[in-house]
Structure 1
Amino acid sequence: MKKYLLKNILLAVIGLVSVAANATVKLPSFFTDNMVLQQKSTVPFWGESNQQSVSVTSSWDKKTYKAAVVNGKWNVVLKTPAYGGPYTIAINDGEVKTLQNILIGEVWLCSGQSNMEMPLEGWGKIENYKEEIANANYPEIRLLQAEHIESTLPLNILKVQHNGWNVCDSKNIADFSATAYFFARKIYKEKKIPIGLIHSSWGGTLIEAWTSSGALSTIHDFDAQIEAMKSESSRETLEKKYNADLAVWEKHLANADKGYQNEKVIWASVGFDDASWKTMKVPSFFDSNGLGNFDGIVWFRKKVAIADNSKDFTLSYFADDDDMIWVNGNYVGETKGYNVERHYTIPSKYLKKGENVITIRVYDGAGNGGIYGEENIALKSDKEIISLAGDWKYNIGADSKDLPARPYLAQGQNRPSAIYNAMIAPLADYKIKGVIWYQGESNAERAFQYQKLFPLLINDWRTQFKDKNLPFFFVQLANYKQQKQEPGDSDWAELREAQFMALKLPNTGMAVTTDIGNGEDIHPKNKQDVGGRLANIALAKVYNTKIDYSGPLYKSFKIENNTIVLDFDFKTEIKAKEGMLKGFSIAGADQKFYWAEAKIVNGKVIVYAQNVPNPAAVRYNWADNPDGNLTNASGLPASSFRTDNWKGITQEKK
């Protein structure tokens, strides 16, 4: 009997050891070493296990939380103290997994499109990037980088880079969001609170892609596309029509491109006479080199001398948006995407000793266009490096103005809700302090629609993160494109207006950046001030710091005889930044705007123009690339605005 009992006990022990050995607790990708958890909160913490129960022990309070495993999943709610650390969390389901170097602090979600995504180095190369990277030693700032993923349905798994959270240092910061980093750095320097940055953004994306299908279904602007994501037959119908329309448009484009004749490339041939072509510096954007705001096809040609053609050459550069390349009339390759670095190999068989001709065809659909990147663009082989920087011959192949509008169908990541499903939904239970957002360039052509899309997204995220007052601070579009001599319409101004209107929502804040953009670059390099201005808003609104965080914001107007009197919020020491006030235009009932004179009297701005005796409306900085100078004690710029509600150029676009 004793032997039998002893045998059973031994088998049971062996069984327990076997089960423990097979225990495999799994955690979401954002629960890793080095993570930051939100301070003074009840923080959901969850995972998977093949055991019956799990216990979680937090070192800051030495408490153990127990959870039953149901259908392979478990969850607990941790109580976090005021900021501090480092701490550990031990998860035990028979085998112990311990997360190390955890900080308790403030977690911010950083999202948007390319200007939020823009890294310190990589394709971004912000101002002073080498120095900024070298000095980025902030062990209490932590970084989590989401991968670019899209999905037709909400996911519960977030795909991340670099195995999860990383400590902010020179090695880890180079490919991280510059705006997010400078935001965190300023708050950390002021408050010495650990900061966790979750960076989930994607260049060239639309706001509706970041919004849940449930929220979008309430406005009905995207019903067909949302249905197409659910239904194979609906998707096929939409795609079939789009593909047919696109084929027709591409035929128009090909027929319009002077670089082709009878579907044969003529402008890439060695013997083609380009003597009548103009010259342009490369690398550069052609919008700022004589082709302001041009969209369409531009061909570039350059003759280069090669001493040794026995080896293959390589050539790397960026192009905006799409490019094709030929060498001595031989097709080498093509690439699509404005932020994708090209890496072409030119076979030695295409080359000859002496003079060779390189031809690059660039198609630009919107915004900047051209061949851009490092100044040292060069052909390289094992034996030679030949600089290609400098003058290239160029000619216009086709102007988009001469073509019908290109058909559009949101695909991939830009389908409504597609990025939300994969890059936001998995984070919904991760406790965060707030959101910083920089997006809108891609929606500028539908700026009027953005008036409802932007607050829709803000309220949607507040619902998903279960915080109806979640701080949401955003960047208003910077100045960009060619400056206009006369006042006129602007879709970028209309988009800024939509962003301004979102301030009606509680606990929002807007960083105005029309003084630190770059008319020649949709990705301005000064991200230090962008992140700093967002941080000022957070310091004032979240961290109770007395700090200026806004320039003047338009409040109301009144017509007095032949003048219009404007009143503002944030008008302490309202003034011109330098010289006389500029950037104001005025119109009568005919809706024709003229540049106006403006002066400040008793804290208000009085606007008038001699040729508008009966004024009806005033606009300020109403342009793609404005140069107004209204400010206040903060030195920060006033937001653009208009006093009228006349129909804009984007009102009918959806």
Structure 2
Amino acid sequence: MKKIILYSLLMLLALHASAQKRTKVACVGNSITYGYTLPERETQAYPARLQQMLGDAYQVGNFGKSGATLLNRGHRPYMQQEEYRKAMAFAGDIVVIHLGINDTDPRDWPNYRDEFIRDYLALIDSFRTAKPDCRIIIAKLTPIADRHPRFESGTRDWRGEIQQAIETVAHVANVQLTDFEQPLYPYPFMLPDAVHPNPEGAGILAQTVYSAITGDYGGLQMPMTYTDRMVLQRDRPLQIKGMANADAKVKVSIAGQKKTARAGSDGHWQVTLAPLSAGGPYTLTVTDGKTTLLYKDVLAGEVWLCSGQSNMEFMLKAATTASKDIPAAKDSQLRLFDMKGRWLTHAVEWPVSVLDSLNHLQYYKGTQWEAATPETARNFSAIAYYFGKMLRDSLQVPVGLICNAIGGSPTEAWIDRSTLEYRFPAILKQWTGNDFIQDWVRGRAALNIKKSSYKEQRHPYEPCYLYEAGIRPLESFPIKGIIWYQGESNAHNLTTHEKLFHLLVDSWRRNWNDEQLPFYYVQLSSIDRPSWPWFRDSQRKMMEDIRATGMAVSSDHGDSLDVHPRNKKPIGERLGHWALNRTYGHKQVVPSGPLYRNVEFRNGAAYLTFDYGEGLHSADGQPLRTFEVAEIDGLFEPAVAEVEGNRLKVYNKSIKNPRYVRYGWQPFTRANLVNKTGLPASTFRTE
């Protein structure tokens, strides 16, 4: 009996000693830490989930206080709350702090912003006093969705300022910084009230803290664009980046180069390779000592992103020249990365099983790099294929094409959320009933997701969606430039589109950290839709406003009834003309047909000059047609156009004092002005 009692006492002492050795984690914060709005806060709040992940070797305490501010003169200072006193008594070995959301209140940030950094440093110092060797982790703020009632009146901007202040605090206090924003930012449905995460969102926060504490980020990982047969951009310093467990030593080797990087506390690592000359095949090796990733048959060459809506998505097998060109599509140095949607946006109701996947941005099918063959090329974008083939023929280097175009998609779906939140927030508001968004777009989306009962159900046409599902996952994979064919789903409102198109180009150039990233796009073609002449001219003028852009005219290959004209080869090649001339310096290649430059009115006629206007003539040998003149804007009459050297004389004998000229100003136009290379002139009007 004495032995049993002694054994029991020893076991109790051992258990007590074990409990004493448990690492204590104090989770300090506001209602998000507390678990406000969660159905079962005690088990669903992020600290409770963190406890489950960390296991019995840790003791996690939840010291969240709803409504708490970091500011000591805020409306509810955390350091004056009972939860703070309990956190101090807990004396955590690790302290995780997430405060600042409530400081966006108009009572707080406008008055006391200058005190934020000092107050945060004081809070950190107090925990270091309670436990001198404690480890402090501070978190960047969780998102606040644009649905928040004060979003535009201050919350959006003040929250951004607080994020910057938190980064400053991390640097000054020499504490670990983790990010509560990025894991939730693309998933606004996880913030039902625009602020507080739902149970899934709380789980993501728990995983974020778990990784920050343990350094476990799932081991070595590379972006989805890294597969066998990929093409890496040649002739420029090449950033290779990925994820690994914190502090892992990652080695990257290719073509005799060997680079090493150390993963940061956030798991991110990056190396910069010296420029690769065109060629290959190479093997790219990435290893952290535990896992080795080998990418074989890698080429160095020219990489282009091909994006937009259905006319870019339009497959080679449906083009007029398919029967001739598909059998010849055998080129081991033309590589295709074909991103296709899992569900086509046809006029159907999608099954309920689709809807949750949409919310989680799981819209694109998995894919990998493939060499061009009749089998791979036939289902690839026709325009992208013809563009890539022209580059291959002219440059004689490997070419890689990434295509992620989605039929029917509007421009706003391709722009990152932050850009729209700050520069066009109105388009985010209740997007399915928003007049900035084309009726057809809203109607098709509503039909596709009709079976959803979820208020924040997502769809590929939603603003930001395709950026988050189709651009963000590319992880800034190095590219040379972009070709774009889109606009049909925004043609109802050219003023809105003009704003959106500028934002689109800015958004993507910022993503690739390249202010001069070439962006070549296709002007809408001809079809019997009344707004299209104005839209085409708007596209022409934007080329003048946005640097490093070029526009391929397609109106001579339009179809009066079909929004998807089938003759794609000349359109892809016209994009190729821009790239060869502007990006690759082939000045002998004329990039465009005649582009209106200026007009002079005298002696009852208009004299027009054009860029790329050498050798003006009609495409069909007939008189030049579709020119019109007017003395009063809006009262146009047909005009005669005659070539005089490299300019045009345009007149109507009944109009003595013309002041306006327009050309190709029909939805479906038979305009026939071309230059010496046979490239067509754009729709235009003088102003």
State the alpha-carbon separation in 2 of the partners of residues 433 and 198 from structure 1: 11
Asked if the contact 2:412–2:463 (Cα under 8 Å) also holds between the matched residues in 1, the reply is yes
Q: Does the alignment pair 1:569 with 2:616?
A: no
In the TM superposition, what whole-angstrom CA distance separates every residue of 1:104-142 from its partner, at most 9, and x where no partner exists? 111101111100011113xxx111323322211111111
Compared with structure 1, are the counterparts of its residues 242 and 563 closer, same or farther at alpha carbon in structure 2 (3 Å cutoff)?
closer
State the alpha-carbon separation in 2 of the partners of residues 427 and 417 from structure 1: 15
2:600 to 558, 568, 575: 558
Asked if the contact 1:135–1:170 (Cα under 8 Å) also holds between the matched residues in 2, the reply is yes
State the alpha-carbon separation in 2 of the partners of residues 163 and 608 from structure 1: 56
Compared with structure 1, are the counterparts of its residues 62 and 242 closer, same or farther at alpha carbon in structure 2 (3 Å cutoff)?
closer
State the alpha-carbon separation in 1 of the partners of residues 367 and 463 from structure 2: 29
Q: Does the alignment pair 1:439 with 2:634?
A: no
Structure 1 position 612, deviation (Å): 2.2
Structure 1 position 536, deviation (Å): 1.3
1:132 to 322, 325, 336: 325
Unaligned residue ranges in structure 2 (runs of 5+): 1-216, 344-354, 449-455
Q: 1:53 maps to which residue?
A: 248
Q: Does the alignment pair 1:118 with 2:314?
A: yes
Q: 1:187 maps to which residue?
A: 391
Q: 2:543 maps to which residue?
A: 503
Q: 1:587 maps to which residue?
A: 630
Q: 2:472 maps to which residue?
A: 425
Q: 1:365 maps to which residue?
A: none
Amino acid at match of 1:541: R
* Further displaced range: 527-536 or 50-59: 50-59
Structure 1 position 155, deviation (Å): 12
State the alpha-carbon separation in 1 of the partners of residues 590 and 427 from structure 2: 43
Q: Does the alignment pair 1:538 with 2:555?
A: no
Give secondary structure in 1 for the equivalent of 2:556.
coil
Give secondary structure in 2 for the equivalent of 1:134.
coil
1:453 to 492, 495, 500: 500
2:377 to 149, 167, 173: 173
Q: Structure 1 or 2: larger helix share?
A: 2
Structure 1 position 80, deviation (Å): 3.1
Amino acid at match of 2:414: W
Compared with structure 1, are the counterparts of its residues 495 and 590 closer, same or farther at alpha carbon in structure 2 (3 Å cutoff)?
closer
In the TM superposition, what whole-angstrom CA distance separates every residue of 1:538-585 from its partner, at most 9, and x where no partner exists? 111112222122111101112213212212111111222222111101
Asked if the contact 2:633–2:660 (Cα under 8 Å) also holds between the matched residues in 1, the reply is no
Give secondary structure in 1 for the equivalent of 2:555.
coil
* Further displaced range: 134-143 or 444-453: 444-453
Q: 1:529 maps to which residue?
A: 570
In the TM superposition, what whole-angstrom CA distance separates every residue of 1:208-237 from its partner, at most 9, and x where no partner exists? 1111233334543xx2442x4xxxxxx5xx
Give secondary structure in 2 for the equivalent of 1:420.
helix
Compared with structure 1, are the counterparts of its residues 440 and 83 closer, same or farther at alpha carbon in structure 2 (3 Å cutoff)?
same
Asked if the contact 1:477–1:492 (Cα under 8 Å) also holds between the matched residues in 2, the reply is yes
In the TM superposition, what whole-angstrom CA distance separates every residue of 1:4-27 from its partner, at most 9, and x where no partner exists? xxxxxxxxxxxxxxxxxx995222
Q: Does the alignment pair 1:494 with 2:534?
A: yes
Q: 2:132 maps to which residue?
A: none
In the TM superposition, what whole-angstrom CA distance separates every residue of 1:33-79 from its partner, at most 9, and x where no partner exists? 11111112222222333474243332312323232353444332233
TM-score (norm 2): 0.60
Q: 1:144 maps to which residue?
A: 337
Structure 1 position 99, deviation (Å): 0.8
2:233 to 14, 35, 38: 38
Asked if the contact 2:257–2:273 (Cα under 8 Å) also holds between the matched residues in 1, the reply is no
State the alpha-carbon separation in 2 of the partners of residues 615 and 603 from structure 1: 21
Structure 1 position 162, deviation (Å): 5.3
Amino acid at match of 1:196: G
Give secondary structure in 2 for the equivalent of 1:502.
helix
Asked if the contact 1:477–1:514 (Cα under 8 Å) also holds between the matched residues in 2, the reply is yes
Structure 1 position 158, deviation (Å): 8.8
Pairwise CA RMSD of aligned residues?
3.2
Unaligned residue ranges in structure 1 (runs of 5+): 1-21, 229-234, 250-294, 296-320, 323-334, 338-408, 483-489, 645-654
Asked if the contact 2:364–2:469 (Cα under 8 Å) also holds between the matched residues in 1, the reply is no
Compared with structure 1, are the counterparts of its residues 149 and 43 closer, same or farther at alpha carbon in structure 2 (3 Å cutoff)?
farther
Q: 2:671 maps to which residue?
A: 628
Amino acid at match of 1:532: E
Compared with structure 1, are the counterparts of its residues 469 and 410 closer, same or farther at alpha carbon in structure 2 (3 Å cutoff)?
farther
Give secondary structure in 1 for the equivalent of 2:277.
coil
Give secondary structure in 2 for the equivalent of 1:459.
helix
* Further displaced range: 470-479 or 52-61: 52-61
Q: 1:606 maps to which residue?
A: 649
Aligned residues: 443
Q: 1:11 maps to which residue?
A: none
* Further displaced range: 73-82 or 621-630: 73-82
Asked if the contact 1:114–1:202 (Cα under 8 Å) also holds between the matched residues in 2, the reply is yes
Compared with structure 1, are the counterparts of its residues 126 and 496 closer, same or farther at alpha carbon in structure 2 (3 Å cutoff)?
same
Asked if the contact 1:145–1:160 (Cα under 8 Å) also holds between the matched residues in 2, the reply is no
State the alpha-carbon separation in 2 of the partners of residues 524 and 73 from structure 1: 45
Give secondary structure in 1 for the equivalent of 2:493.
helix
TM-score (norm 1): 0.63
State the alpha-carbon separation in 1 of the partners of residues 495 and 655 from structure 2: 28
Compared with structure 1, are the counterparts of its residues 432 and 575 closer, same or farther at alpha carbon in structure 2 (3 Å cutoff)?
same
2:516 to 443, 462, 469: 469
Q: Structure 1 or 2: larger strand share?
A: 1
Structure 1 position 195, deviation (Å): 0.8
Q: How does 1:41-120 map to 2 (within 5 A)?
A: 41-50=236-245, 52-68=247-263, 70-93=265-288, 94-120=290-316
